[in-house]
Structure 1
Amino acid sequence: MTTTHDIATEPAGGEGARPRRDRHISDFTELTRMVQEAGFMRRRYAHYWTRFAVLTLLLAGLVTTFVLLGPTWWQLLVAVALAVVLGQVMFLGHDAAHRQIFRSGKWNDWASLVIANLYAGMSYGWWNHKHSRHHAKPNTLGVDTDIEPGVLVFTTENLTKTRTGLAAWFAKRQGWFFFPLLLLEGLNLHVSGVKTIFGRGPVKRRPVEIAFVTLRLGGYLALVFWLLPVGMALAFLGVQLGVFGVYMGASFAPNHKGMPMVPESMKIDFLRRQVLLSRNITGGRWVDVFMGGLNHQVEHHLFPSMPSPALRQVRPMVKQFCTERGITYTETTLARSYGIVVRYLNEVGLKARDPFQCPLVQELRVAR
């Protein structure tokens, strides 16, 4: 297992006398200055208020359609549409949680509570705590909760310690099961949030979260079971939660899965950690809409509070900056990213790859 624990210093003399760590910090400072001077960090109030208004109208329209249709299997199409709109709602909540919408942290918090808890029925406090750890150190073992072993394993280390028998058989084929398993992710997201806000998890405004989630989920279930027969109601909920889970997983997974994973002890400056462990997804503006701007993952990780509409605009600047400094900037198409995810998970299950044998380790290896 190859790891890197130190950053080498450059030869003495001139500008190169600075420690490499100092130079790396200066790199990010310079990039930040360029980004701010270009105006990419300015707030986009019109954009976000428009998105909020459109999503509110779409949700109201879907509820109206649901009531007018009554007990018919055509409601399953409404369930699919609802899942997609709620996915877009969560993208908006994601932006608010990252302080992208308002200057005021309090306004962003309340926007997140309304959008995530009241509109989507998910816990903002639970998700924000989990997501913040991911942003601080993506793809870092023992820190990033997105790669903790569960049904799936993301490193051979986790695999050899926890999988035997049927679980080991499944792990060898886990890549093929990844997208089918996402059908359960919608339910998992709701359950995890509810357990946290009604338990002892890290929740800042627990009474508000409990009130919003109870109102949203209780009202939603009451409406569905009041209007539809039990079997049809269960089918409606199954389709809505299943499509929602696939949509969320298909939007978040391509950004980091299959990228290098590193131990917590590895010393990497912020710029290189965020760039080298993230992947952008190309494909034009339709991909921007489909993924809520998360396809510009490198830029988002470097500047989490940058409004999502600016991520596409800042991309050429960030890419050129990384190229000039020899920092690997990874991007691929959406279809290829899904293939990478499936192959990587299968390779981990087959123990065919050491996740620490990666370009990141080579790039930061100490000269000996």
Structure 2
Amino acid sequence: MLRFTMTLQEQEMSSSTSAEVADNKPRSRSQRTISVGENNNQVNRKASTHQDQGERKLIGIDGKWYDITTFIPHHPGGDIIKHFIGRDATAVFHSFHERDVLKHRKPVGDFELDEDPATEAFRQLQKFFIENGYFETSMLWYAGKFAITFCLLALSFLCVIASEKWYVHYLGAFFLASFWHQCGFFMHDFMHTQGFHKAKIDRWLGTFFGTVCLGVSGSWWREEHFSHHALTNTVNPETKWSDPQAHEAIFAQNERLFPLHNSLFEYYAIKVQHITFLPTCILFGRVAIILDSFREEKNVREWVAFVIHWTWICLLLSFLPSWYECLVFYSMAAIFEGVLHIQLLISHYCKPFYLENDICTTQNWYRMQVISNINIVNPVWMDWFHGGLNFHIEHHLFPLMPRHNYRKANKHVKHVCKELGITFDECTWSEAVIRTIQHLKKMSTHFSLNPN
């Protein structure tokens, strides 16, 4: 049973009713209470509804309620904060933020919660990681990665400029795809502030590697990705909202996504999704994500970065002898880079989905993160290929941790999961792909436009 008590000055009570919650009436002795359901920390419908309709929006962190009413439009992580109004967001908050973020914010009340042991276990593990330097970035490691990555771009230009052989040109397309592939990982790292742990610097670098180098809007991707992290494999059938990076119009990988698909086109696409999954990722993955970011992006800085991206792409293509070779070259690079889009999906697509109302209420956030992810087992020398996505469980639990520390963090996360009785799912790349396809086939047989 979670219960919130807010003590207010008498003058505030007489001049404002914006904080009325639960029964919408002032309590005696200047107290108002939000009751939160008896099932773990589930906010009761009456309190939650009032918070949605009233002026004051509260979010729970470390046993304290914070008023975020005026902060919501300025939240650096975007609108995802709205999904945690009226909830205990302690776990997700500490996974995304440095420890001193709240030092200038005063709580407006307290709550008590009988916590799931997973919360304390992973909080202690995070403390251990911080104290032992797991969140510290190796700039030497990144310098080496940058050097190798930009050598790939240089090789692409060299293949196009220094040779007239068509097969050498197309080898350049492979190097270009490899450059994009690695830049996607850098965008991911810096948008999570894994580099300098300073939001402004890291976001600029994220835009550089994402928008300028890869050609995908870094800011648009960041907001979608943060929603994906906070509410992994989560859906709300009532509002038609779902984890934006786990839902596509042509795929329905879980029964809880079925209500979001209601067209005849989607029906036929889902019926063959196990057949089209790999070809779609490889052939259309890059084009689709570029078009999505074009359509959604409104930031002027990102559009300037888009112009820079297409300027250097056109410069590279200008060295090719014909329009035909330009088309083939870019298409081949896009197809090679399509492997990245498979990597992005196989860690989640065959895992359970959750209802939004259950997250941070009846479903513990840390448990959800472990259960919603698959780790890819591979030798150390293949870590460059996966860009940290092979340690997806560690990354989702501790997204601020630099990826070069995931491997040594792995054994500690496994140990905690074993102690808590949480299944730690890991398999090889090929097994993950096969499991995903088999799961998509199973879902395709269950899907119907009229489930009744």
Higher CA-based Rg:
2
Per the alignment, do residues 349 and 160 of structure 1 end up closer, same or farther by CA in structure 2, a change over 3 Å counting? farther
How many Å separate the matches in 1 of 2:347 and 2:403?
15
Shift in alpha-carbon separation, 1:237–1:284, aligned structure 2, 3 A: same
- Say which of 145, 154, 161 aligns to 2:244: 145
Q: 2:445: which partner in 1?
A: 350
Contact 1:254-1:338 within 8 A present in 2 as well: yes
Secondary structure of 1:258's aligned partner? coil
Aligned to 2:415: 320
Q: 1:166 to 1:97 in 2, by over 3 A?
A: closer
Separation in 2, partners of 1:284, 1:226:
38
- In the superposition, relative to structure 1, how do residues 164 and 350 fare at CA in structure 2: closer, same or farther (>3 Å)? farther
Task: Give 1:22 deviation, angstroms.
Answer: 5.3
Deviation for aligned residue 1:19: 5.7
Of the three residues 213, 219, 224, the one matched with 1:119 is 213
- Residue 354 of structure 2 aligns to a residue whose secondary structure is coil
- Residues 186, 209 of structure 2: 8 Å contact kept: yes
Query: Which residue of the other structure, out of 379, 383, 386, is the alignment partner of 1:288?
Result: 383
Contact in 2 for aligned 1:156/1:349 (Cα 8 Å): no
Cα distance in structure 2, aligned partners of 1:58 and 1:6: 54
**In 2, Cα distance between the equivalents of 1:211 and 1:167?**
35
Partners in 1 of 2:165 and 2:289 — Cα distance?
Answer: 28
Q: Give the Å deviation of 1:286.
A: 3.5
- Structure 1 209/74 Cα, relative in aligned 2: closer, same or farther at 3 Å? same
Q: Separation in 1 of the partners of 2:186 and 2:295? A: 23
Residue 71 of structure 1, CA deviation? 6.7
Residue 218 (1) aligns with residue 318 (2): no
For the aligned residue pairs, the C-alpha RMSD in angstroms reads: 2.4
Counterpart-to-counterpart distance in 2, 1:344 and 1:30: 35
- Counterparts of 2:260 and 2:142, CA distance in 1: 46
Which of the residues 21, 25, 43 maps onto 2:119?
Answer: 25
User: 1:236: which partner in 2?
Assistant: 329
Which deviates more, 164-173 or 261-270? 164-173
Q: 1:320-368 CA deviation, whole Å, 9 max, x = no partner?
A: 0110111221111111100111011111111189xxxxxxxxxxxxxxx
Question: Given residue 265 of structure 1, which amino acid in structure 2 is its aligned partner?
Answer: N
Which aligned pairs between 1:165-204 and structure 2 lie closer than 5 A?
167-182=266-281, 183-197=283-297, 200=298
Structure 1 window deviating more from structure 2 (115-124 vs 133-142): it is: 115-124
Answer with 229-238 or 333-342: which moved more: 229-238
- What is residue 298 of structure 1 aligned with on the other side? 393
| 1:329 is aligned to 2:421 | no
Amino acid at match of 1:351: H
Matching residue of 1:361: none
Give yes or no for contact 2:155–2:175 (8 Å, CA) kept in 1: no
| CA distance in structure 2 between the aligned counterparts of 1:188 and 1:112, rounded to whole angstroms | 20
Post-superposition shift, 1:161?
A: 6.2
Tell me, yes or no, if the aligned pair for 1:276 and 1:329 is still in contact at 8 Å: yes
Change in 2 beyond 3 A, CA 1:285/1:76: same
Check the 8 A contact 2:118/2:420 in 1, yes or no: no
Q: Deviations over 1:219-247 (max 9, x none)?
A: 31354155331122111111111221x22
Q: Identify the structure with the greater strand proportion.
A: 2
AA partner of residue 238 (structure 1): S
List runs of 5+ in structure 2 lacking aligned partners.
Answer: 1-37, 42-111, 236-240
Counterpart in the other structure of 1:253: 345
**Separation of aligned partners in 2, 1:160 and 1:264:** 14
- Retained in 2: the 8 A contact 1:154–1:348? yes
Gaps of 5+ in 1: 9-17, 201-205, 354-368
Aligned length: 333
* 1:35 maps onto 2:129 in alignment: yes
- Once the two structures are superposed, what CA deviation does each residue of 1:245-270 show, in whole Å capped at 9, x if it has no partner? x2212221121110111111113223
Question: Which has the larger share of helix?
Answer: 1
SS, match of residue 427 in structure 2 = strand
Is residue 159–residue 349 contact of structure 1 (8 Å, CA) maintained in 2?
Answer: no
Q: Deviations over 1:6-60 (max 9, x none)?
A: 449xxxxxxxxx9652534322221111222232111211111221122122212
Q: Deviations over 1:263-283 (max 9, x none)?
A: 111132232121111111112
**Contact 1:149 / 1:158 at 8 angstroms: preserved in 2?**
no
TM-score by length of 2: 0.69
The CA distance in 2 between the partners of 1:128 and 1:228, in whole Å, is 38
Are positions 1:51 and 2:130 aligned together?
A: no
> Distance between the aligned counterparts of 1:297 and 1:103, measured in 2?
20
CA contact (8 A) 1:71 1:228 kept: no
Per-residue CA deviations over 1:277-323 (Å, capped at 9, x if unaligned) read 11111121144221101110010011101010100110001100110
After the TM superposition, which segments of 4 or more aligned residues of structure 1 sit over 6 Å from their partners? Answer: none
Higher RCO structure (Cα 8 Å, ≥6 apart): 1
Provide the rounded CA distance (Å) in 2 between the counterparts of 1:108 and 1:330. 31
Deviates more, 1:290-299 or 1:141-150: 141-150
User: Match for residue 71 of structure 2?
Assistant: none
8 Å contact kept, 1:117–1:213:
yes
Supply the AA of the counterpart residue of 1:251: Q
Distance 2:321 2:349 in 1: 39
The separation in 2 between residues aligned to 1:25 and 1:139, in whole angstroms, is 20
TM superposition shift of 1:157: 4.7
The whole-number CA distance in structure 2 between the counterparts of 1:159 and 1:273 is 21
Partner of 1:364: none
**Displacement of 1:165 after TM fit?**
5.3
